[in-house]
Amino acid sequence: MTKNQRQHRITELLNSSVISTAAQLVGLLQAEGISATQATVTRDLQELGSVKIRNDDGVRQLTLATSPMHSPGVSEHLRRMMGEWALTVEVSSNIVVIRTPPGCAHVVASALDRSALAGVLGCVAGDDTIIVIASFERGGASLAKELRAMAGFSSSNKKKGM
């Protein structure tokens, strides 16, 4: 089973069952013949933007954020993804270009899409490049500055320690 298939099944389980912990989710997956460690499932939950809530019965439950604006973990997720995968952040007018290692652009772009970052109209990811369109009001320079800070870049657009 691929990571995408596993994450799709996790999404289905979260939408159909009351699940409180990653360990409980591992058990449900194993009951279906899907092998995954708790660490893997925890990473999957983070990538999917899951949050813990109290449902109408007062029970703590893992769920996927219905709206990115309601998920406090999403902006932290974007910060982690930028810090881990962004190599450079360049700007031209209202377009910001983020470079990543090969095969990693979609991970950062997904986190960016889910973050509902103010002034982002949308983004397109290739293999190692993401094009982010900033709104006229926000401007590319302002957005690039925020993304550079998330990635831990110094003013020279390079990561600290590089």
- Which pLDDT tens digit goes with each residue over 35-86? 999 999 999 998 888 888 887 778 888 888 653 433 445 577 889 899 999 9
Q: Rounded to two decimals, what is the model's pTM?
A: 0.56
Q: What is the mean pLDDT of the chain?
A: 87
Percentage of residues of the chain with pLDDT beyond 70 = 89
Strands (E), 23-139: 50-54, 60-64, 88-92, 95-99, 120-125, 129-134
Q: Pull the structure tokens for residue 127.
A: 């293999």
Give the model's confidence band at 155: pLDDT under 50 very low, under 70 low, under 90 confident, else very high: low
Q: Pull the structure tokens for residue 78.
A: 């974007």
d(CA 139, CA 120): 9
d(CA 130, CA 74): 18
Q: What pLDDT shows up at residue 115?
A: 80
Tell me if 3-64 shares its fold with 70-151.
no
Domain extent listing, the chain: 3-64, 70-151
* CATH architecture of the region 70-151: 2-Layer Sandwich (3.30)
Q: What pLDDT shows up at residue 95?
A: 98
Question: Does the domain spanning 3-64 belong to CATH 2.30.130.10?
Answer: no
Residue 33 has pLDDT above 90, yes or no: yes
